[in-house]
Structure 1
Amino acid sequence: MTGTFASLGLCAELSHACKAAGYAAPTPIQVESIPSLLGGQDLLGLAPTGSGKTAAFALPLLQRLVAGRQHAPRRVRVLVLVPTRELAAQVGEVFRRLGTFFTRPPKVAVLHGGVSVNPQMMGLRGGADIVVATPGRLLDLLDRNALRLDAVEALVLDEADRLLDLGFAAERERVLAALPARRQSVLFSATFPPDVQELADSLLHDAVRVEATSPPSAEPAIIQRVISVDARRRTELLRHLVQQGGWQRVLVFVATRYATEHVARKLYDRGIYAAPLHGDLSQSRRTEVLDNFKDGGFDVLVTTDLAARGIDIPGLEVVVNYDLPRSPNDYVHRIGRTGRAGASGVAVSLVSAGTEAHFRLIEKRQHLTLQREQVAGFEPVEVVADSKATAEAGVGGVKGKRPSKKDKLRAAAAAGAVKLDRGDS
């Protein structure tokens, strides 16, 4: 039994906020995390996407650091670092929603790039209780003396593995240098590679480690499908799947910004309402596209890994890996956009002969064994190369195994010599 939010030690205002937000009962990660965070302990949390981890740290930090200071001057007491603009907006909204029923609701500042810095500076006038920020914009505002971090009592690193992946090390160290040495530190991550452990060891002290998985009755029912198809026919197959399946809310992941525009346009030209989302769009346009998708304004959103984390799209039916993720860990985050909050969903990966070896690596890293399907009329004609022969030929898509330009020149020269020898014989 998970009990109630009140049974975890939360005050009446927060219990009321949970009910108003539609939280029926605490999730496993909340049950495991909230009491320890209320007690002021450092915490390392490993939780699957969609498990309620934002509320797991927002609720206890609101109670400890805000509820008891209803009349105190506004100073930044909670700092949450996140890797993307969209996640910053989402986490900030959770804090605002859960703090609604306090006599003086906490002031939450959401700071990220992609928009003018001036409105964010104006919003910090008079102080703030909670700051949710991407590292770059936070440092920009620190350099402008728009805020101070010397009163921070709790630091949260959300999606810590992504912060590491994106190369935020230098920015992170500058932020840490601006914080008090004595503070509560919280680190959450959906995956746990060795560098996350190193970061945890450097930041946390006598930390409680929480690894929460949902019970069978609450696990998201994500049906994972793998369809073999020639690379050149992926768009045509995608259109067929959307139309035949009657899919009305589909998130399609591609590898490049150009591909978002190209695939979305191809789908739109064939009668499917599709739109692209990528980092070259202005923040206002990105927000507009996401809001329209969530509201059912179009059926298919084609995006880069920009949308792989931190974006909650209620009722998302299907996730499609049009291009496979480069990192096996990102596969988890991508498919985790569907099947959230106990709902069911479908994750489809389109695998060609050229990407079969990489998908096998994803399966190995994620401990999966998935059956390959073929769709009538789209049977592949390309042949999957033998992995050993491919490696010997210097061909393949695995990082670190691609032939260099010199290797290609040597191979071409060798092939020419063989051809010449055969012609002389």
Structure 2
Amino acid sequence: MNPKLTTLPKNRTFAAMWSDKLKLNKQLVRSLTDAGYLTPKEMQTRSLSRIIGGQDMIGVGPEGCGKTTTYVLGVLMRLKYGVEEAPRALILVPDKERVIAVTEQFELLNKNDTIRIVSLYAAPGTEAQMNALADGADIVVATPDRARSIYLKLGLNLNKIMMFVVDDADAIVKQGLQLPVNELANSILKCQHLIFTEVLHGKLEHMIAPFMNQPAIIEVDELAEAEAEILDQLLYHVPNFRTKLNLLNLLMHDTEVFTKAVIFVNTRLTAEKILNSLTHVIKKEAAILNPLFFETAGFERIDDFKEQTEKRILIVANELQGFIDVEGVPFIIHLELPDEKETFIDRIIKRDADQETFAITFATDIELSMVKKIEQATGHKIPTAELPEDLIVAKEENKEETKKKPAAKAAATEVRGEAFHEKKDSNKKDYNFSAGTKAKMNKKKKHG
């Protein structure tokens, strides 16, 4: 039997899934099936019709849920042919690596030779990239700072832009690139705006509110199957680092509950700062694992801390190599999230069915994307608790942002710019159990 004949019906079935469900043209359907994209993902089925229809949209979902392919298809469907000298789509991504990856995705799926794609990222000199734009471009994929730089040199024409896309928007905020994004968006008179991100938080909403126009919000949750049993967890979402310190002091004052706790931070220098930020009474009960300075109270091994009764708080830097055995310690607190999610996951996996360690995480807006990655990898959502009523919430340290707050508040009352939305039921905070309260409840269950 001819093998081509046996696979033909199957290929037709896959093609039908793309063409019937999403109304893609035959050329794109063929590109998708040739590239191995057999079935649309949830992000694509829920958002492509909105993109093709020209609606502003925010797509929220974990890495691998199909965000990039979604807007690549949307852009190619809307542009169709290269008819202008000036670009009609501007895609902003955080760094050079993402520029290259997105450009390659366009080249993989675009079989139309008339569509021209230009990449802009940090490189010695701007002349070559400006020349490429001068030769004609339909789609520009760029980092925000590079696009702004070339725009200010009159090398990037934004007069014909139809689609303004910000991908990995949470990473762009984390890198502090909000200003060039806003300047570019404000330089475009009228276009469709698409935002794709792993997490939608306050700082990101503040960036996009001025230019979004009644956006549809598509949220996709794709958790892996839970393969390993993990520790009980709780998440505190705080506005800034100083509030983390206030929350740590507040929790550690409860000596009845927090009899022993390991606090994880990223560097030994930060560990020293955390130790010095503790109130005088708590500081006497705290130490650092392998401290940076010899005069600092510390331990060389975590087992020494477990056995010692005078110290109940141990601060550990993520930069220390090797496995940290927290079994037997009632609480671990991630005051800072590690750079690699595997480091976090390794600490919260239960190695003994009887292990009763409770894991608490403090996270700011820019750390929520790492929280999402951890949830996706473990298959477990981390319950979010409301902040204690007696917590002192520190003001933002960014003076420029503070100055702009009244204007931002006024803008939020307008229809244009309302990026805020009703949270999904699974993400709503509908309880106010502190870690201490929950621990006491557990203790009562065991001994009551």
Q: Which TM-score applies when normalising by structure 1?
A: 0.54
**Aligned partners of 1:49 and 1:339: how far apart in 2?**
12
Which structure 2 residues correspond to residues 19-418 of structure 1 after superposition, within 5 A?
19-65=33-79, 67=80, 69-70=81-82, 72-99=83-110, 101-102=111-112, 104=113, 106-113=115-122, 115-179=124-188, 181-214=189-222, 219=224, 319-321=342-344, 327=363, 333-334=369-370, 363=382, 365=384
**Aligned partners of 1:136 and 1:326: how far apart in 2?**
30
Q: 1:338 to 1:131 in 2, by over 3 A?
A: farther
Quote how far apart the aligned CAs of 1:332 are: 5.8
Q: 1:165 to 1:87 in 2, by over 3 A?
A: same
The corresponding residue for 1:408 is none
Deviations 1:3-51 (A, max 9, x none): 7221201111111111122212111111111011111111122222210
**Secondary structure of the equivalent of 1:24?**
coil
**Aligned partners of 1:337 and 1:30: how far apart in 2?**
20
Quote how far apart the aligned CAs of 1:79 are: 0.6
- One-letter amino acid of the structure 2 residue matched with residue 167 of structure 1: G
**Aligned partners of 2:33 and 2:227: how far apart in 1?**
27
Quote how far apart the aligned CAs of 1:93 are: 1.7
Q: 1:206 to 1:174 in 2, by over 3 A?
A: closer
Greater CA drift, 104-113 or 126-135: 104-113
**Aligned partners of 1:189 and 1:176: how far apart in 2?**
17
**Aligned partners of 1:95 and 1:208: how far apart in 2?**
24
Does structure 1 retain, via aligned residues, the 8 Å contact 2:170–2:204?
Answer: yes
What is the percentage of aligned positions where both structures have the same residue?
22
Q: 1:206 to 1:336 in 2, by over 3 A?
A: closer
**Aligned partners of 2:124 and 2:46: how far apart in 1?**
37
Q: Which TM-score applies when normalising by structure 2?
A: 0.51
Does structure 2 retain, via aligned residues, the 8 Å contact 1:222–1:338?
Answer: no
Does structure 1 retain, via aligned residues, the 8 Å contact 2:227–2:378?
Answer: yes
Does structure 2 retain, via aligned residues, the 8 Å contact 1:50–1:336?
Answer: no
**Secondary structure of the equivalent of 1:204?**
coil
**Secondary structure of the equivalent of 1:13?**
helix
- One-letter amino acid of the structure 2 residue matched with residue 46 of structure 1: V
Does structure 1 retain, via aligned residues, the 8 Å contact 2:89–2:139?
Answer: yes
Quote how far apart the aligned CAs of 1:205 are: 1.8
Quote how far apart the aligned CAs of 1:201 are: 3.5
Aligned length: 280
**Aligned partners of 2:31 and 2:148: how far apart in 1?**
32
**Aligned partners of 1:325 and 1:157: how far apart in 2?**
29
The corresponding residue for 2:18 is 5
Deviations 1:187-235 (A, max 9, x none): 1221121233344442222322211234x7xx46675867x899869xx
Does structure 2 retain, via aligned residues, the 8 Å contact 1:32–1:212?
Answer: no
- One-letter amino acid of the structure 2 residue matched with residue 15 of structure 1: V
Deviations 1:58-83 (A, max 9, x none): 10111111x1x24x234211111122
**Aligned partners of 1:9 and 1:31: how far apart in 2?**
10
- One-letter amino acid of the structure 1 residue matched with residue 108 of structure 2: R
Larger radius of gyration: 2
**Aligned partners of 1:203 and 1:154: how far apart in 2?**
13
- One-letter amino acid of the structure 2 residue matched with residue 30 of structure 1: Q
Does structure 2 retain, via aligned residues, the 8 Å contact 1:6–1:12?
Answer: yes
**Aligned partners of 1:178 and 1:31: how far apart in 2?**
31
**Secondary structure of the equivalent of 1:167?**
coil
Does structure 1 retain, via aligned residues, the 8 Å contact 2:170–2:366?
Answer: no
**Aligned partners of 1:117 and 1:27: how far apart in 2?**
38
Does structure 1 retain, via aligned residues, the 8 Å contact 2:103–2:119?
Answer: yes
Deviations 1:356-415 (A, max 9, x none): xxxxxx955499xxxxxxxxxxxxxxxxxxxxxxx9xxxxxx999xxxxxxxxxxxxxxx
Does structure 2 retain, via aligned residues, the 8 Å contact 1:29–1:52?
Answer: yes
Quote how far apart the aligned CAs of 1:55 are: 1.0
- One-letter amino acid of the structure 2 residue matched with residue 176 of structure 1: A
Greater CA drift, 89-98 or 117-126: 117-126
The alignment yields a C-alpha RMSD, in angstroms, of 4.5
Q: 1:27 to 1:332 in 2, by over 3 A?
A: farther
Quote how far apart the aligned CAs of 1:329 are: 5.6
| Structure 1: stretches of 5+ with no match in the other structure | 238-253, 267-303, 309-317, 348-361, 368-390, 392-397, 401-425
**Aligned partners of 2:72 and 2:147: how far apart in 1?**
20
**Secondary structure of the equivalent of 2:156?**
coil
